[in-house]
Amino acid sequence: MRYVTSIIVLEPLYEFIAYSKSLYTAFIIAAADGLGDVYMTEQIKIVTLGCDKNLVDSEIMSGIMDQYGHELVENAEDATVIIVNTCGFIDAAKEESVNTILELADLKETARLKALIVSGCLTQRYKEQLLEEMPEIDGIVGTGDFHKINDIVAEALQGKKPVRVGNPVFNYEQILPRKVATPRYTAYVKIAEGCDNNCTFCSIPIMRGKFRSRSMKSILAEVKQLADQGVKEISLIAQDSTNYGVDLYDGFKLPELMNKVSEVPGVEWVRLHYAYPGFFTEELIDTIASNPKVCKYVDMPLQHSEDTILKRMRRPGRQRDSRELVRKIRARIPEVALRTSIIVGFPGETDEDFENLASFVREMKFDRLGVFTYSPEEDTAATRLPDHVPDEVKEWRANTLMEIQREVSKNVNERHIGRMLDVLVERYDGRNDVYIGRSQYDAPEIDGEVFISNCKLSIGEIAKVKITHALEFDLAGEGVL
């Protein structure tokens, strides 16, 4: 991410909900009678919060709703049923989820809304509190049950207040109908669900369950469907993508999967997200280096540089291992763009630890960097650690790191001046007469853009662009016919 926002440590969720209600309307009780035939066509709005993995879940729910004859609408005011797919990863995400639910519940009085369904990570973790504190909710769906969304909507419209929150074991093995919400030329594909790494700060295993790979056959079938629809860029995602296949096959199978995805007709770019550093194999490095359709882009969260903090986080290896892995990747993939994420303010992080971390960021010159302030998550081991860092110190440290990264990013971008880059064209800015797109070094939404002038292009094409200017996070250049 380009900017860092402060993350507020919330009170327990039920207290925050009670507080939030004072900012909105009083309780709204939906009438169970007079809702009509539950099998009639409904106008469905799905609101997605959180990560791209959540987005895929929402796309599946959209596909199911469409398959059953419901109409998907853009505006919440036009909806008779709203599904809020929540995030519960950190306190700021919980806050956003709760506020969104409350805001949308108001539409029961002012618009056509008959049922408000809540799904995703927040429901998987806090279903009892949500049901008790928010009677506005008409149905709840967990992270392993969203494929049952049509039945849940039907029951909610009957006033039954259905709850489907079981063990999160679903892993996309069955290819379900899907309406892709991203632009037609790019899509995310989940290759695994859950996580077994048990980092002390992370609640993903609680909300998403144990790591489970999806079969290669299922993934390739979905990629073919997407490519047939015109998708050129496939972003492979999982909480722990580098561990792909160990539970299904004989060893790490991510390199084989990436090669097979690249062979699907119509696929031009294959992008890898969330590569856990502990399982980054030699074969994976070779695959990224040698396959021309695999983006020279590595999204590998390191989280910190200092050994004492890495140990407390229960992260793999130590600083010397991170340095060696980064050195190896850059040596074998000379043009690679390396994205990482850092957590500041973890319990026990001293001023000296942070100063060393800042020096590490300056020295390593990551092409892309996301900085997050530590957020204590219930039922995670880190909450029991001593020496928690004050919020104002966390925020200052995060802002300091991003200021360092601004300078680093500008210098990194300048290396592209004079080079020819392939750029995926995403939109046209008529006011400034420029097209805007991304190179293989930039992932959707989170990274930089390329501004293209002096050429007429088509949205969704991959164009040749000569880079003429470098900004802090973006590039500019001229299209080459």
Q: Which residue has the tokens 């006011």?
A: 431
Residue 388 backbone phi and psi in degrees, to 5: -70, 145
Q: In the chain, how many H helices and how many E strands?
A: 14, 19
Q: Return all residues near 30 (Cβ < 8 A) that are at least 6 apart.
A: 108, 114, 115, 116, 136, 138, 159
Distance CA 333, CA 284 (A): 11
Residue list for the binding site? 51, 87, 121, 195, 199, 202
Amino acid at 286: D
**Is 245 within 8 Å of 257 (Cβ atoms)?**
yes
Distance CA 297, CA 51 (A): 19
- Find tokens 């060893």 and name the residue: 251
Sign of the Cα pseudo-torsion (370, 182, 153, 116, in order)? positive
Q: Which amino acid is at 18?
A: A
433/343 Cα distance (integer angstroms): 39
Residues 6+ apart with CB under 8 A from 330: 336, 338
Evaluate whether 40 touches 157 at the Cβ level (below 8 Å): no
CA pair distance 368, 440, nearest whole angstrom: 13
Cα–Cα dist 460/444, whole Å: 13
Q: Which residues are annotated as a binding site for [4Fe-4S] cluster?
A: 51, 87, 121, 195, 199, 202
Residue 458 DSSP symbol: -
State the Cα–Cα distance between residues 23 and 102, nearest whole angstrom. 9
- In the block, tokens 């709203």 appear at 82
Beta bridge partners of 299: 339
Q: Decide: helix, strand or coil at residue 14.
A: helix
